[in-house]
Amino acid sequence: MDKTSKILNVLLNGAIALALTFMAILVFGNVVLRYLFNSGITWSEEMSRFLFVWMTFLGAIGALQDNEHLGVDMVVKKLSPLMKKVVFVLTHVLLLYVLWLVLDGSWKMTLINMDSTAPATGLPLGYVYGIGIVTSVCMAVIIIAKLYRVLFGNRTVEQMARTGESAEDLPASSRGAIQEGGR
């Protein structure tokens, strides 16, 4: 399972890198063409926008996989291990429900917009909305895997959830230095 996760992570990062590279080439090339030759690639701005949307959503999948999304864990840190597990399961079930809503809405928007085309590229706009389907399915798989590892595997909530060090956890001498540096 970890080997599959690593392969998928490499593919995801590769797709993000390709989108960013293609975006940079399109935008830079268009700027050069406009300033030097007073012409440009008519579809580059639109394609860059589509790639940016896909890159953002793919990045959200990678952030979920690596537990990089923002979270507030001040209360959860103070709970007992059993209550941490209960809160972890509850929040992940709620996330699955939200992802179902995203999947449902993205599916409907994709179907509605398959006949509509973008003005410059001529691509069906359903391709843009389709990233919601990809994102919600991938995120749901990640969340289900995390739930399985916590409920049936040998992983604890602390191993599955990234909890950072807050100013409350630092010694008083360090907290003062942080507060002084912030002014």
Residue ranges per structural domain of the chain: 2-164
7, 179, 168: which is closest to 72 by C-alpha? 168
User: What is the pLDDT at residue 112?
Assistant: 94
Q: Reply yes or no on whether the pLDDT at 36 is more than 80.
A: yes
Assign 182 a pLDDT band (cuts: 50, 70, 90). Answer: low
* Comparison of pLDDT for 172 and 92, the residue scoring more: 92
Over residues 51-63, the mean pLDDT reads 95
Q: Reply yes or no on whether the pLDDT at 42 is more than 80.
A: yes
* Comparison of pLDDT for 91 and 74, the residue scoring more: 91
Over residues 81-88, the mean pLDDT reads 90
Tens digits of residue pLDDT in 102-155: 999 999 999 999 999 999 898 999 999 999 999 999 999 999 999 999 898 887
Burial of 167 (0-12, 13-18, 19+ CB in 10 A): exposed
Assign 2 a pLDDT band (cuts: 50, 70, 90). Answer: confident
45, 52, 53, 48: which is closest to 106 by C-alpha? 53
159-162: Cβ within 8 A, 24+ apart: 160/67, 160/88, 161/67, 161/71, 161/73, 161/76, 161/88, 162/66, 162/67, 162/68, 162/71
